[in-house]
Amino acid sequence: MRETYLVDFYLGWLIEVSQSGEQFKSVCYSPCRETFSLPKAYSSEFAAISAAKQIIDRYKACHTLTQILRDLYENNQLTFEDWRSLQQSLTEATKIF
């Protein structure tokens, strides 16, 4: 049975760590209530929190890059083909979410 073991906040996100047996799993909630569950289980609650923070940082970086690509395309600094190619690469990088 899973029970919430620990709750933390990071950059406006809520991180819940649940314990299942001797392992810990993280679930991240964005300020707009998007949910990301980390597929891997960790041996300690601190490792689960650390992994969640890394995923949040990665998500925020990808979101920022998406905005930059959009701005560059809208300002005619990227062709549609270049924008699409870069956006697809970014989408591939964010499949964990």
pLDDT above 70 as % of the chain: 94
Cα-based distances in Å from 74 to 6, 77, 89? 43, 8, 19
pLDDT digits (tens, 9 = 90+) for 16-46: 999 988 999 999 999 998 898 888 999 999 9
Please state the domain extents for the chain: 3-93
pLDDT at 1: 44
Tell me the average pLDDT across 72-87: 95
pLDDT for position 91: 84
